[in-house]
Structure 1
Amino acid sequence: MVSLLALLPRGLTTFLYAVAALLRFYADTDTTPIQLIPLTILQWSFLAFALGTAALLANLGLEWHAGNQSRNREIEARERETRRDDLANQERNRAAEERERAARRARIQNRFFLLQTRHQLAPSRETEAALADFLSFLQEYGD
Structure 2
Amino acid sequence: MVRKKSMKGDYCPSARALDVIGDWWSLLIVREAFDGVTRFSAFQKNLGIARNILSERLRKLTGERIMESVPDPNGGAHQEYRLTAKGRDLLPVIVSLRQWGEKHLFAPGETHSRLVDSVSGEDVAALDVRSQDGRMLSADDVVIVKVREDDL
TM-score norm. by structure 1 comes to: 0.21
Higher relative contact order (CA 8 A, sep 6+): 1
Who wins on radius of gyration, i.e. which is larger?
1
Of Structure 1 and Structure 2, the greater strand share is in 2
